[in-house]
Amino acid sequence: MGILRNMRELFGRLKHSKPEKIYCPRCGNPELQLSSSLDSWLTPGKYVCEKCGYVGPIIMELEEDKENV
C-alpha cells in the first residue's frame, strides 16, 4: 500500500534529520540562542548569534525536498 510506505519513509526521514537545523546567515554559526523578548507577541522568536551578534527571526532549514517549491 502506498500510504503505509509513505508513512515509513516519513518517520525514517524524521529519524535521520533533526527537525531544527538553524544557522546564522552571517557567519554560519549553528549554535544560535533563541531569545524570548517582550516582542514575542509580535514575532514568533528571535535568534541571537553570540559570535557575530546577529539578531533576527531567521529559520534556515536545510531540507532537500523544499528545493522544488
Positions that interact with Zn ion (CB under 5 A): 24, 26-27, 29, 49, 51-52, 54
CB 47 → Zn ion: shortest distance, Å? 9
Closer Cβ to Zn ion, 54 or 60, answer by number:
54
The number of C-alpha atoms within 13 Å of 34 and in the hemisphere containing its C-beta is: 8
DSSP assigned state of 30: S
Residue placing its CB nearer to Zn ion in the complex, 12 or 57:
57
Nearer to Zn ion, 9 or 61 (CB): 61
Tell me the CB-side half-sphere exposure of residue 29, using CA atoms within 13 A: 14
